Structure 1
Amino acid sequence: MNLIQITPENLETEHICCAISNERDCQVQAKKAWLAKRLEEGLVFLKGDVRGKCFIEYIPAEHAWAPIEAEGYMYIDCLWVSGQFKGHGYSSLLLDECIRDAKEKGRRGLAVLSSEKKLGYLSDPKYLKYKGFQTTDAAGPHFRLMALPFEGQTELPRFSPRLQQAAAQVPKTGLVLYYTSQCPFTAKYVPLLEAICRDRNVPIQTFHITTTEQAQNAPCPYTAFSLYWNGGFVTHEIPSEKKFEKLLADLGL
């Protein structure tokens, strides 16, 4: 498989490999607008030359949209290989290229958000451990920061000490949603969830994180989507309409 890197020149014409085929879809357009600004900050979006989910996205950790402290590291936003492309070594191909690029750029290692056990939208901890990553920090209820320090590195990435303070400031009444345009799915599903809440008279506040600074001071390690109820964390996984209806029912709403 050949690899294609997204650049400002080909961003508009290249498929960005998420589960959306229509390039004019609001989700694709929102993601590409977000990518355009991040490319200026050193973000790399590398994909297989296929139409499907086979890509890696990473950025210098100083510009990561995550409340972490990992100076000198490269932060992996997403490594996604699925469907017909699984089982062919493509994840290793993409990760190895990320490692090569990070070393060439003088980075100290890689960092990535994972979890205690495999969860949606987070990197698989079992696979990361197999590739040599180690857990360097933890945040409730299930988030794990994992790192692959390069030879000679002793300072390891950690979650920002501001994380707990930000979590304590989440409004304590009703549903509260923080989200970014980093994940394309929020462009479609956030308005749908808001409409469901309006129809049910369920109070919801939504906060669209639009800057790196806001993301690095967010209350949840996964800034693309984090939902709270009465100040308590509910989920980081973007639900379909049906799943959201069930979630509301489980909350007694």
Structure 2
Amino acid sequence: MDYIYVTKENIEQEHICCAISSNSDVQVRSKKDWLYDRFEDGIVFIKSVLRGKCFIEYIPAKNAWIPIDADKYMYIDCLWVSGSLKGHGYSTDLLNMCIEDSKKKGMEGICILSTKKKMPYLADPKFLTYKGFKVSDEASNGIQLWYLSFNDSVLPKFKSCAKDCHMSEPGFVLYYTNQCPFNAKYVPLIENVSKDLNIKFKSVHLDTKEKAQNAPTPITTYALFFNGEYVTNDVMNEKKFLKLLSNLGL
């Protein structure tokens, strides 16, 4: 398999490998704008030459858009291989490229979010365990910070603001960034559904690194709360949201 590094120079021409086929889609535009602005912070985006879901995105943890303390660690935003490209060792290829690059850049390890059991949009804990990752920290909602250390460095951990995953605001509160392309479409959709149903809903757009690094949730791409309690990181479409409302008795 051959791979392509997406850069400022080629980002407009390259497909960014998510589950969206058109480069003109509003979701792709949102993601590309976010990604373009992160290159100066050291983000790396590597994708398969084949069209499909096969890529890795990582960035120095000091510049990652999540609330962690991970000095000299590289943080993996996303490692995604699925569909017909799954099962060929491409995840290992991409992870090894990240490890090699991180070592060259003087990093002391890499880290990534996961859970005890596989959850949407998070790394597979079975794969991480197989590759030698271990858990260094866990938030109250079960989101874990996994790490692979290259030496005996200080382990990465969540900032205190993200450990409890609780807030005082009533109703729904959604924290999100433009890192996930789906948010450009589905956040407004859920806002409109809530308005139509007279459901109390507040969206908090984490549009800077500083806001994301001080958020009350270990997941910042999409974190939905209800009456102060964390609910899910699964991006809600209308059907999912209406089902959630029904489950909550609303």
Local SS of the residue matching 1:136: strand
State the partner residue of 1:206: 203
Q: Distance in 2 between matches of 1:91 and 1:9?
A: 25
Taking only the aligned residue pairs, the percentage that are identical comes to: 54
Local SS of the residue matching 1:76: strand
Q: Which amino acid aligns with 2:225?
A: Y
Q: Distance in 1 between matches of 2:145 and 2:206?
A: 21
Where do 4+ consecutive residues of structure 1 move more than 6 Å?
A: none
Local SS of the residue matching 1:40: helix
What's the CA shift string for 1:196-243, capped at 9, x where partnerless? Answer: 111111010111000111001011111001111111111111022111
Q: Which amino acid aligns with 2:189?
A: L
Q: Which amino acid aligns with 1:117?
A: K
Bigger mean CA offset, 138-147 vs 170-179: 170-179
What's the CA shift string for 1:179-212, capped at 9, x where partnerless? Answer: 0000000000000101111111101011100011
TM-score when normalising by structure 2: 0.98
State the partner residue of 1:242: 239
* 1:44 Cα deviation after fit: 0.1
Q: Distance in 1 between matches of 2:210 and 2:13?
A: 30
* 1:60 Cα deviation after fit: 0.2
Local SS of the residue matching 2:41: coil
* 1:43 Cα deviation after fit: 0.1
TM-score when normalising by structure 1: 0.97
Taking a change above 3 Å as real, the CA distance of residues 164 and 92 of structure 1, as seen in their structure-2 partners, is: closer
Local SS of the residue matching 2:127: helix
State the partner residue of 1:251: 248
Task: Find out whether 1:174 has 2:171 as its counterpart.
Answer: yes
Q: Distance in 2 between matches of 1:135 and 1:229?
A: 27
Q: Distance in 2 between matches of 1:196 and 1:60?
A: 37
Number of aligned residues: 250
State the partner residue of 1:155: 154
Q: Residues 79-98 of structure 1: matches in 2 within 5 Å? A: 79-98=79-98
Q: Which amino acid aligns with 1:189?
A: Y
Q: Distance in 1 between matches of 2:152 and 2:146?
A: 14
* 1:54 Cα deviation after fit: 0.1
Q: Distance in 1 between matches of 2:136 and 2:171?
A: 33
State the partner residue of 1:221: 218
Local SS of the residue matching 1:31: helix
Task: Find out whether 1:30 has 2:30 as its counterpart.
Answer: yes
Bigger mean CA offset, 154-163 vs 73-82: 154-163
State the partner residue of 1:54: 54
Q: Distance in 2 between matches of 1:25 and 1:246?
A: 27
Q: Which amino acid aligns with 1:157?
A: P
Q: Which amino acid aligns with 2:122?
A: L
Q: Which amino acid aligns with 2:244?
A: L
What's the CA shift string for 1:119-171, capped at 9, x where partnerless? Answer: 11110111001001010000021101000000x32311011123247x44x34
Bigger mean CA offset, 232-241 vs 71-80: 232-241
Q: Distance in 2 between matches of 1:171 and 1:40?
A: 36
Local SS of the residue matching 2:216: coil
* 1:172 Cα deviation after fit: 2.3
Where structure 2 has 5 or more consecutive residues not aligned to the other structure, the ranges are: none
Q: Distance in 2 between matches of 1:29 and 1:7?
A: 15
